[in-house]
Amino acid sequence: MLCEDIMKTDVESVSPIDTIADAARKMRDENLGFLPVCDETLQVLGTITDRDIAIRGVAESLPGSTPVEDVMTSEVVSCSPKDTVDTALQLMAENHKSRIMCLDDEGRLVGVISLSDIAQLVGDASDTLRQVSDREVTN
């Protein structure tokens, strides 16, 4: 099975100049904990999670007007839509990520796969879940 077969293509994202308050509202309204950070061409620059906002924003007493780029994670873990789901699982496990972005050949966002998406469709994502969860113990 290929990543393009299971990736979600209706992906919400934010700009690096959007505020963390805007990102938090979007997460609340869309029931998300993760947003890709993209430029106007959908080139992925990083990600922001609810945890980034809490730990790097709120815990540091930053105002809601703080730009996303000040608290986002610049590390991008991604795969191609043409990669196998096994490749996505391996990348998620190696990088302790529960989500992976699918990028086209130009590095533009075309989809996102979460570990729960894989678990629902594939059935056995327990090893990856265990490896992703290891970050909670080691970090």
Provide the Cα torsion 110, 67, 55, 113; round to 10°: 0
Name the band, by pLDDT with cuts 50, 70 and 90, for residue 118. Answer: confident
Average pLDDT of span 26-48: 95
- Give pLDDT, residue 131: 58
Name the band, by pLDDT with cuts 50, 70 and 90, for residue 42. Answer: very high
The whole-angstrom distance between residue 79's C-alpha and the CA centroid of its chain comes to 12
- Give pLDDT, residue 130: 58
DSSP code per residue over 7-56: -B-S---B-TTSBHHHHHHHHHHHT-SEEEEE-TT-BEEEEEEHHHIIII
**Max avg pLDDT among 85-89, 114-118, 132-136:** 85-89
* Backbone angles phi and psi of 9, in degrees to 5: -105, -10
Q: What is the pLDDT of residues 121-133, one digit of tens each?
A: 765 555 555 555 5
Name the band, by pLDDT with cuts 50, 70 and 90, for residue 135. Answer: low
Strands 109-114 and 78-79: unpaired
Average pLDDT of span 56-73: 96
